[in-house]
Amino acid sequence: MKKNLGVVQAVYPMPVLMIAAYDQDGKVNAMNAAWGMICGADKIALFIDEDHKTTQNLLGSKAFTVALADRDHMEVADFFGIATGNKMADKFERTGYTAVKSEFVNAPVIDEFPVVMECELAEVVETDSFYCIVGRIVNTAAEESVLSENGKVDPAKLNALIFDQFQHGYYVSGEQVGKAWNAGVGLMKK
């Protein structure tokens, strides 16, 4: 029997995304966001507030990067979520992390995170219910250490962080339990 829990954001897993952009002086700012998703073959949607320092920076520069946080970098990923660039001018510098300018867009690529999507600002969607940044993915780069033999990202090697909205925990993904577009094929024959 199910127990009623009230209004709960009952979507699991949620990604742990590191969004980075330059400010008007070329300084790196980064934030942690879980409310993001792929919304097209070359698009990503980020449901983030307009008042974030990173949001203001990417609106100004018209570019940003989105990296996948992993187990090895959980402490900094969490810090990017609890510290605000609006109140902490040296937020990125405190981590000791490094960033290089993307070859494809005017945005920083944080070296330490293993997978990054380099994006141009495609549009801003604002309704009474949400504020959404949509980016066009221009390039995705990954450390060779997280690639499989076929040259694609291997989730088992990536150890990507997953955010749990129920208990506010971080988990790691990686175990494959089936193949998409195959696990349910037997039901097609009924």
Q: Name all domains of the chain by residue range, CATH numbers in brackets.
A: 14-184 (2.30.110.10)
29, burial (CB in 10 Å: exposed 0-12, middle 13-18, buried 19+): buried
Evaluate whether 115 touches 140 at the Cβ level (below 8 Å).
Answer: yes
Spatial contact of 87 and 75, defined as CB atoms under 8 Å apart = no
Nearest Cα residue to 118 out of 19, 185, 23: 19
Tokens read off for 97: 């992390």
Asked if 162 contacts 170 with a C-beta cutoff of 8 angstroms, the reply is: yes
Q: pLDDT truncated to tens, each residue of the chain (190 aa)?
A: 999 999 999 999 999 999 999 999 999 999 999 999 999 999 999 999 999 999 999 999 999 999 999 999 999 999 999 999 999 999 999 999 999 999 999 999 999 999 999 999 999 999 999 999 999 999 999 999 999 999 999 999 999 999 999 999 999 987 888 999 899 998 988 7
Residue 67, judged by CB atoms within 10 A of its CB (0-12, 13-18, 19+), counts as: buried
Closest CA to 18 of 149, 181, 163: 163
Nearest to 116, CA basis, from 48, 44, 184:
44
pLDDT of residue 4: 95
pLDDT of residue 76: 97
Give me the pLDDT at residue 96, please.
Answer: 98
pTM: 0.95
